[in-house]
Structure 1
Amino acid sequence: MKRITITLLIMSMMTLVGCSGLATGSGNVEKDEAKSEATLESMEIKTANDALERLKKGNEQYVKDAKETIDVSKERRAELENGQNPFAVILSCSDSRVVTSHIFNTGLGDIFDIKLAGNVVDDLAIGSIEYGVEHLGVPLLVVMGHESCGAVTAAYESIHEGTEVEGNIGSIVERIAPAVEASESIEEASHKNVEDVIAQLAEDEIIKHLVESGKLEIVGAYYDLDGHVEFLD
């Protein structure tokens, strides 16, 4: 009887140790997950390449429906009262489906956003970009078009089908027209429009100086509505 009691006691202790080990293992997994989540926000960004890598990793998380790490806490808002230090200026379309903070899984103060239909630029938009890259010292400028862009579609239909464009939308169509005329499809025109806008920005005196001095890089991008961003060469 005594042997049976001792045996049962030993078995009970082994079971408890096993459960404890599982709990500890689970705790380690949770710590690893927390560490993985923290990696995105804790990335050190000093160069354009750092900023681009941050955007790529953020988009990977977005595409995979990974847990977002966007910091909109009271503490973060209080911190930003003293100023901003974004790591990227992004010129994108004003389309409601193109939300850069979600697409790149970023938080408050991370992206200096410029949004116009068709991701085109005028003097006001260029002035805003100049503020970001010169005054704020942002190292990366991204020009991002997207799938099913209404502005590019309007320009394409106006030029190839003779569809009339009313109001000030016509001024947007005029800016996209060269890209449309050089393309055989709306998607191709969207890509070409990104190239044209980059070429236009590269001629701006302030932006050109920053690029030539190695303080700024300009990259093109194309957003598919499934969530994926293709960075263009």
Structure 2
Amino acid sequence: MAGCEGFLGTCLPRPTIVSRWSRPGRTGRVQIDPVAAGAAAIALGVGVAAPPAAAGSPQRPVVSPNEALGRLVAGNQRFAAGHGRHPHQGLADLHRLASGQHPFAITVGCADSRVPPEVLFDQGLGGLFDNRVAGNIVDDLLLGSVEFAVTEFHSPLIVVLGHERCGAISATIDAIRDGGSAPSHIGTVVDALRPIVAPVLTKPGDPVDNAVRANIRAQVRGLLSRSEIIAERVRQGALKVVGARYDLDDGRVTLVG
């Protein structure tokens, strides 16, 4: 899916790193209106999912990666257009799911308060198996969590979700340019991102957004290359791993191929 940009196609204390986790600067972004996004989904063969079931009723099972992707496409279109349905978020759903879960997608997202997957994909309880950490970094612990969901629930889709103006990326760029290091355990995040971010700093365009996209691609590659469980299911056609970027300004998600 290289080159696809349509959805379904996220220092240092010098002296305050905390304030740099959310830079106000705006980056270049790909805008896709609901009609265009729907066309992109059709072109990719994923379709658009049927309307979600009413609260308290089980969701229709997802049996293919493309169907799962289509459901997320449709949900993000609703959210970005201001027509979210907020499905499966009632007490009846809570009680129904108490005995077990069957998430149709696994997300690897950034621990940013503005990027909650259930909200931006207009999903509810039991739909998404979320894994979130600053910089959406797939370390061994997070990889184990993803593998657990793949084997236990047979979820057919993994989405690595980065976002524009990522603070972890900005902090890493600052550390590289300043020759410094981040304080305490924040340095672990910066050190994990450094080898991904450094090579793209000389490329034209916005350095933060370039690095966000590079990191999304790197984490997708890591999932496929480091996990035989994931790679085997992808070879079987039972699982798809995609990278995506969330736009903080308009609420839209686009694929990063």
TM-score tier by shorter-chain length is: 0.7 to 0.9
Contact 2:52/2:87 (8 A) holds in 1: no
Post-superposition offset of 1:43: 5.7
| Structure 2 SS opposite 1:113 | strand
Alpha carbons of structure 1 residues 69 and 222: separation in structure 2 relative to 1, 3 Å:
same
Distance (whole Å) between structure 1 residues aligned to residue 127 and residue 84 of structure 2: 18
| Structure 2 SS opposite 1:143 | strand
Post-superposition offset of 1:161: 2.6
Post-superposition offset of 1:179: 2.0
Cα shift readout 1:60-97 (whole Å, capped 9, x = no counterpart): 00101114232222211111022101000000000111
Alpha carbons of structure 1 residues 44 and 80: separation in structure 2 relative to 1, 3 Å:
closer
| 1:197 matched residue in structure 2 | 219
| 2:252 matched residue in structure 1 | 228
Of 32, 44, 52, 1:40 maps to: 52
The CA RMSD over aligned residues, in Å, is 1.5
- Quote the sequence identity (%): 37
Structure 1 length normalisation: TM-score? Answer: 0.80
Counting only pairs closer than 5 Å after superposition, residues 1-233 of structure 1 correspond to structure 2 as: 39-41=51-53, 45-184=62-201, 185-203=207-225, 204-226=227-249, 227-233=251-257
Contact 2:216/2:256 (8 A) holds in 1: no
Return the structure number with greater helix share: 1
Bigger relative contact order (CA 8 A; separation at least 6): 2
* Equivalent AA in structure 2 for residue 114 of structure 1: N
Post-superposition offset of 1:39: 1.4
Query: Matched residue pairs, number?
Result: 196
Structure 2 length normalisation: TM-score? Answer: 0.73
State which structure, 1 or 2, has the greater radius of gyration over its C-alpha atoms: 1
Distance (whole Å) between structure 1 residues aligned to residue 200 and residue 133 of structure 2: 21
Q: Which runs of 5+ in 2 are unaligned?
A: 1-49, 54-58, 202-206
* Equivalent AA in structure 2 for residue 199 of structure 1: R
Distance (whole Å) between structure 1 residues aligned to residue 213 and residue 140 of structure 2: 22
Post-superposition offset of 1:144: 0.8
Cα shift readout 1:86-126 (whole Å, capped 9, x = no counterpart): 00000000011111111000010000000000000211101
